Structure 1
Amino acid sequence: MFKTDNFLFHPISSNSVLDLPKQFTYPFYYQPHPLCIKAAEEVKTYLSTQTNFEHNFGLNQNKKGLKIGKMFGVMIVQSMDGDVGYIVAFSGKLAESNYLKGFVPPIFDTLNKDGFYKQSEEHVNNLTAIIEALEQNPEIEIAKLNLENVKLKSINELEVFKQKAKVEKEKRKQLRKEAESKLSVLEKASLFEELKQQSIQSNIDLKYLKLNCEAEINKAELVLEKLMQPIKALKLERKTLSASLQKRIHEQYQFLNAVGEIKNLIDIFKITELGQPPVAAGECAAPKLFQFAYLNNLKPIAMAEFYWGISPTAEVRKHGQFYPSCRGRCEPILGHMMKGLDVEPNPIESAGKFSGNIDIIYEDEFLLVLNKPHEFLSVPGKTIKDSVLTRMQDYLPDATGPLLLHRLDMSTSGLMLVAKNEKTHKNLQKQFINRTIKKRYVALLDGVINTKEGTIDLPLRVDLNNRPRQLVCAEHGKSAKTKYEVINTENNKTRIHFYPITGRTHQLRVHAAHHLGLNSPILGDDLYGIQSNRLHLHAETLCFEHPVKREWVSFSCKVPF
């Protein structure tokens, strides 16, 4: 049972007769082992009843203060004596602390008051306070305003001069025209020379006016620069100190693996596409668990992570549900830390294989409509080349143009539209852009929906730390809208029709699962819900204007669930 003494190895109760897994959990895609589920349940019971620390998970509506849910991790481990138990970790800090009884310690304690980080952080904060105080100097605002006024004055003066010069130029042009018929050769020569000198003088006057304007602007800029110089110097000092501090911190995060090798964050991430550690790298539960296991001669057997608390605004996170480790921060770290362990193969690398023939439900000389099977790629992936696109390229060797008009997620089944030539593709593509093509999806949601119909409007963007997952983001997300209609509810499951207005990645899946959407994930959604035999999402109906026949056509295929 979960204990809060100083010994952080929690024995599995003696009445457990569960077999140990043969391989360690692949942390980025897994079904929790029964031992992990049992350990997690003990931790959840403790979190529900404990009085040892104070943290607002947002589960008690009457509790005031900032509400923050947390990821927790459990790792089944075996001691040198053969005893099986588990260790527990939380991501980041909990109750404003890195150390809590019963939980493994951090890789590096950034909250240590006597450590270099806190001392350097205090220096950085002092610099920030000084900078902010200097920026409040009213003379700076006056200098900025004066600079803007000088620039505006220069623009106006130059514009007035140019307009006047334009008028004078037209007058000179008119005088030359009149002189052609009224003046003698000598008189014209004299007049033309005088007009020429006037034109030269106008250009000279413009040049000096520009120089005077520039001088006035430079003078105003120097006044502002003199006031800003101390601030810039302090900001440079703060930037340099922060960079040095960040590098020193990254060097302190030293990660072990099963063969005794040690690497810090800098060494681990320098070979990645990112090239440097992302924010909070090494603070997740999984690295803490591995580190403690290796330092204490505990053999990692299996692992699982679960979320505890109120759903966050951006991510899809459900209270008490298991989730894989994050990829952006943890994949490079765990890739190092699992070296020497016998780890389950990555199931994603073998996913997307389909040995049968794709069902073509309609075909003419211009286009075809097919029924994509679930767990099959629309286009080739990094490791798997077989896809709808490659199959169509083989099936239609003489076709021109890009072929595919749209895509479906690998896990989604249903109708896809293929154009056989470029002209057809452009016509159909225009229909997609104008949103005149009508699509209807059928989904089975893992929950009960109280409304009968409605529209979900939640902007989406990719989760940079956990691709390909999507986040709800009002600031940087792209508009994503979905109409829905509930068909029926049975056995706590809701059958629903989705009518996507936009076509964002994972749009229907996020709109179904997110707490600001329908708050009920699609059954079998391995990214935003719980794994099942398949993702219960099917593109059932597709309607559009035939690009050649110019008639409205509609296609449907049977829902396989």
Structure 2
Amino acid sequence: MKEFILNCDTDGVRIDSWLAGNLEDYSRSYIQKLCLDGNVWANGIQVKSNYRVKTDDNIKVNVPEAEILDVEPEDIPLDIVYEDKHIIVINKPKGMVVHPAVGNYTGTLVNALMKHCGDSLSDINGVIRPGIVHRIDKDTSGLLVVAKSNIAHERLSEKLKTHDIKREYIALVDGIIYENSGKIDAPIGRNPVERKKMCVNTENGRNAITHFKVLERFQNATYLELKLETGRTHQIRVHMAYINHPIIGDMVYGRRKQKYKTKGQVLHAWRLSFQHPITGEEVKFETAVPEYFQRILSQLRENL
């Protein structure tokens, strides 16, 4: 429990704003959540985030302790692209799950991060997803940023909401796309029949926009660069299937019979850029085309 006695200089300021300036490890949005959950008191009375503080107020704040994560650290090699005391950028391999789930508590990125980072991972996103700001699918490879401090996590999450984290992908899709570039603007929501799948859903879907640019055309496939304007679940995979150019290797949204042995969709998150949550510096990261992707590219080029 943290306790403060206010002075006259703070009279009339919103309590969430005042606490954000005095609890440096926590953002204003996290403090608003503390207020919403009944963890902030003024003079013994629970208050909301819009409470205006007064001189000599006695303010108490309860910051709940993080639950102990019942997932073991594992010595799994990580391809670390960048790391400092607030963030770590990982190039995730195809086949690795980002965070544990029921029946799958080992071999995940989180297991590896717990070993590498020890206790220095944000606990804001729950006990199963320490440090995880965003994720990419198991069979999608590429870059993602992980938060090591709570303040970094909060600020990165805000940037994700405002689409200020730029994510660029490369993919191989079925068929030939003749337009050199384009935009897919179609809302995405749960598939009403198959609830584990997403689909373009004009009635209950959320706004979703994907931009694409053709990098190379083959006999019956197209090599694309894709940029997310929004970040819905399975967005690129759903959008490409929607325009009848599903991603090669996608066993959920793509062709039932696959020509290439890919062990999942040929989709790679190859560029990531954002404003560093602490320094404010614009940071950009890029990875090479992974081996599994290069192998199929080579096969396609040989068939031209």
Question: Are residue 485 (structure 1) and residue 232 (structure 2) matched?
Answer: no
Question: Are residue 542 (structure 1) and residue 272 (structure 2) matched?
Answer: yes
* 2:173 match: 445
Q: 1:422 aligns with which of 134, 137, 150?
A: 150
Question: Are residue 372 (structure 1) and residue 97 (structure 2) matched?
Answer: no
Q: 1:524 aligns with which of 246, 249, 252?
A: 249
* 1:435 match: 163
1:125-168 C-alpha deviation (Å, 9 max, x unpaired): xxxxxxxxxxxxxxxxxxxxxxxxxxxxxxxxxxxxxxxxxxxx
Q: 1:457 aligns with which of 185, 197, 214?
A: 185
User: How far 1:520 moved relative to its partner?
Assistant: 0.8
Q: 1:398 aligns with which of 119, 134, 139?
A: 119
Q: Extract unaligned runs of 5+ from structure 1.
A: 1-353
User: How far 1:465 moved relative to its partner?
Assistant: 3.3
1:356-407 C-alpha deviation (Å, 9 max, x unpaired): 5121111111111001111211111322113112321232222233401101
Secondary structure at the counterpart of residue 216 of structure 2: strand
Secondary structure at the counterpart of residue 407 of structure 1: coil
Question: What does 1:292-441 correspond to in 2, within 5 Å?
Answer: 357-386=77-106, 387-399=108-120, 400-401=122-123, 402=125, 403-441=131-169
* 2:285 match: 555
Counterpart of 2:278 in structure 1: which amino acid?
A: V
Secondary structure at the counterpart of residue 97 of structure 2: coil
The Cα RMSD (Å) is 1.7
Distance in 2 (alpha carbons) for counterparts of 1:510 and 1:497: 16
Percent of aligned pairs with the same residue? 37
Secondary structure at the counterpart of residue 80 of structure 2: strand
* 2:65 match: none
* 1:511 match: 239
* 1:469 match: 197
TM-score w.r.t. the length of structure 1 is 0.35
User: How far 1:491 moved relative to its partner?
Assistant: 2.8
Counterpart of 2:112 in structure 1: which amino acid?
A: R
Distance in 2 (alpha carbons) for counterparts of 1:536 and 1:466: 23
Q: 2:262 aligns with which of 533, 554, 558?
A: 533
Distance in 2 (alpha carbons) for counterparts of 1:557 and 1:500: 17
User: How far 1:427 moved relative to its partner?
Assistant: 1.4
Q: Is contact 2:182–2:211 with CA below 8 Å preserved after alignment?
A: yes
Distance in 2 (alpha carbons) for counterparts of 1:428 and 1:471: 27
Distance in 2 (alpha carbons) for counterparts of 1:506 and 1:463: 12
Distance in 2 (alpha carbons) for counterparts of 1:435 and 1:472: 20
* 1:31 match: none
Secondary structure at the counterpart of residue 269 of structure 2: strand
TM-score w.r.t. the length of structure 2 is 0.64
More strand by share: 2
Counterpart of 1:390 in structure 2: which amino acid?
A: N
Give the paired residue count: 205
Distance in 1 (alpha carbons) for counterparts of 2:84 and 2:252: 37
Distance in 2 (alpha carbons) for counterparts of 1:467 and 1:380: 20
Counterpart of 2:113 in structure 1: which amino acid?
A: M
Distance in 2 (alpha carbons) for counterparts of 1:480 and 1:397: 36
More helix by share: 1
Secondary structure at the counterpart of residue 225 of structure 2: strand
Secondary structure at the counterpart of residue 394 of structure 1: helix
Distance in 2 (alpha carbons) for counterparts of 1:394 and 1:466: 37
User: How far 1:559 moved relative to its partner?
Assistant: 1.6
Question: What does 1:52-71 correspond to in 2, within 5 Å?
Answer: none
Distance in 2 (alpha carbons) for counterparts of 1:468 and 1:376: 19
